[in-house]
Amino acid sequence: MAKAETPFQKSVWAAWDLLQGTENIRDTDSFEFQAGAAALSASVDALDSSDSDKADKIARSVASLEKHSRKWRVAYNLMLEGRSIDITRLVKDLGDSQKKVLTIKKGLQQISRMKMRDDSQDSIEREVRDALTTADALDDALQAAQEKGLVAAEGELGKKASSARVALRHASTNTERDFYKASDGNWYVDNEDYDEDEDGEQIEGDTTSYGPFPSFEAADKYMDRNFANSGGSGEDDSGRQRPPRNPVSPRGRQW
Over the stretch 51-88, which tens digit does the pLDDT of each residue have? 777 788 888 888 778 777 777 887 777 777 777 777 77
* C-alpha span between 69 and 75 (Å, rounded): 10
Map the chain to HEC letters.
CCCCCCHHHHHHHHHHHHHHCCCCCCHHHCHHHHHHHHHHHHHHHCCCHHHHHHHHHHHHHHHHHHHHHHHHHHHHHHHHCCCCCCHHHHHHHHHHHHHHHHHHHHHHHHHCCCCCCHHHHHHHHHHHHHHHHHHHHHHHHHHHHHHHHHHHHCCCCCCCCCCCCCCCCCCCCCEEEEEEEECCCCEEEEEEEEEECCCCCEEEEEEEEEEEECCHHHHHHHHHHHCCCCCCEEEEEEEEECCCCCCECCCCCCC
In 3D space, the residue among 217, 203, 146, 135 whose CA is nearest the CA of residue 174 turns out to be 203
Examine the pLDDT at 158 and tell me if it is beyond 90: no
Lowest mean pLDDT among 4-18, 104-118, 170-184: 170-184
Highest mean pLDDT among 41-45, 189-193, 199-203, 218-222: 218-222
pTM, two decimals, is: 0.55
Query: Which has more pLDDT, 82 or 11?
Result: 11
What is d(CA 51, CA 57) in angstroms, rounded to the nearest whole number?
Answer: 10
User: Domains in the chain, please, with CATH?
Assistant: 7-153 (1.20.120), 175-241 (no CATH)
Amino acid at 66: E
